[in-house]
A and B are shown apart, each in its own frame.
Chain A
């Protein structure tokens, strides 16, 4: 591809990657890695965990590329794997309470209004949304992040969280209502 990989559409890169072209796979990883990392970080709470998740997700993607029916849909597929892996990562962490306590402390920090990221300091609507998101119940927050960051369907979120699609629908609605109300108050 003499004109550069960044120009080449997903479907072509995914087709090459499924034939074993590591350069094409790496181009896809570089294209969607930042969004995978952003999504994983919002779920796991740290970039360190997110990087583990992204690495595991890419490994899984490489092994399962031949199961991808529509090569043009590779972005959603990568994000779906990232979402599931992020949740798995949290479940594994539950087995190690000392690690969990550490992460809870970090999460509490994010919820703290004196945090530099908080709306009061930053003053932007996005910062206010970020703070409101951090105050949501965990299951609602996960549904919201998987939907808005991972662009997943209700069924896909349900499968990642091991709950019913109706539960996803309800939690997502409650998350949105709370966030929308808080954003109206902020304005």
Chain B
């Protein structure tokens, strides 16, 4: 038996070793490196950790896939309410009318424009500036991932052009700048079949 109940013969506690496993911190690292009791107990705890990971893998597989009926039922029950964000006034053609669009509609437009360009995925979009005041300068910030193999600068320029055109056509925002931040390069889809955790489109 390499693992006693509470304390090792060398005087160190198993709680210290358990914490070390999670944090990498231990009061006496030199002792740990040289003590056969500590090393044996640590090896035993590490074996358990590996087995726990295997257990988790089996449990996730047993829980099913993200494309299964149980997941669909949960998603159907959620009925996610929309997030309109701020209200952006529009100039009415007839005096007395009140027209507006929502911030959420504009970020949806930004995503739609991004999704129409191959090789990129648009993430978070922020409208910096007081969009509730007509004509106030607004900076559009867009987070972006580019698929590996696509020219980053070319795709960014293309997106900027398309966004400028779409925002001019569909909104009355005074767009001062469109700032793009590429946060990821996406690896192409692997040739092997996806693992069970990876949902199918």
Spell out A's residues near B (CB within 8 Å): 1-9, 11-16, 18-22, 25-27, 29-35, 37-38, 41-42, 47, 50-51, 54-55, 58-59, 62, 71, 125-126, 129-130, 144, 147-149, 154, 169-170, 172-173, 176-177, 179-181, 183-184
Taking a contact as CB atoms under 8 Å apart, the answer to whether A37 and B147 are in contact is no
Contact among A33, A42, A149 with B71 in the assembled complex (CB-CB below 8 Å): A33
9 A-B contacts (beta carbon < 8 Å): A3-B147, A8-B145, A20-B108, A22-B82, A34-B65, A50-B63, A148-B52, A148-B55, A148-B56
Known: A22-B80, A154-B22. A31 touches B199 (CB 8 A): yes
Contact for B2 among A6, A13, A184, CB less than 8 A: A184
A149 to B52, CA, bound (A): 8
How far is A8 from B188 in the complex, measured between Cα atoms in Å? 10
87-112 of chain B: CB within 8 A of chain A: 104, 107-108, 111
A4 near B201 with CB under 8 A, answer yes
A11: which B residues are within 8 A, CB to CB?
A: 123, 143, 183-184
Q: Is the CB of A12 within 8 A of B70?
A: no
For A181, give the chain B residue with the smallest CB separation.
B3
Which label, helix, strand, loop or mixed, suits the secondary structure of the A interface? Answer: helix
Are A38 and B47 in contact, with the CB atoms below 8 A? no
**In the complex, which of the residues B2, B59, B125, B188 contacts A38, with contact meaning CB atoms closer than 8 Å?**
B59
Which one of B49, B63, B83, B189 has the greatest number of beta carbons of chain A within 10 Å? B63
> Is B54 a contact partner of A34 (Cβ separation < 8 A)?
no
Q: With a CB–CB cut-off of 8 A, which chain B residues contact A5?
A: 201
Q: Which of B13, B84, B107, B115 contacts A2 (CB 8 A)?
A: B115
Tell me the minimal C-beta distance from B196 to chain A in angstroms. Answer: 8
Query: Once A and B bind, how many residue pairs between them come within 8 Å at the CB atom?
Result: 192
Q: Mark B17-50, 1 if CB is under 8 A from A, else 0.
A: 1110110000000000000000000001101110
- Are B189 and A51 interface neighbours, CB within 8 A? no
A16 partner, pick from B3, B22, B71, B111, beta carbons under 8 A = B111
Contacting pair A34 B197 (CB below 8 A): yes
State the CA gap A71–B183 with chains docked (Å): 11
Q: Across the two chains, which residue of chain A brings its CB closest to B144?
A: A12
Q: How far is the CA of A184 from the CA of B41 in the complex (A)?
A: 11
Q: Are A6 and B194 in contact (CB under 8 A)?
A: yes
Q: A15 touching B123 by the CB < 8 A rule?
A: yes
Q: Which residues of B contact A42 (CB under 8 A)?
A: 59
Which chain B positions have C-beta within 8 A of A9?
145, 184, 186
* Contact present for A12 and B66 (CB under 8 Å): no
Q: Contacts A2-B115, A71-B123, A169-B15; is A126 near B80 (CB within 8 Å)?
A: no
Name B62's closest neighbour in chain A (CB-CB): A38
Closest residue to A170 on the B side, CB-wise?
B15
Contact A58 B85, beta carbon cutoff 8 Å: no
- Known: A2-B118, A183-B47. Contact between A29 and B71, CB under 8 A? yes
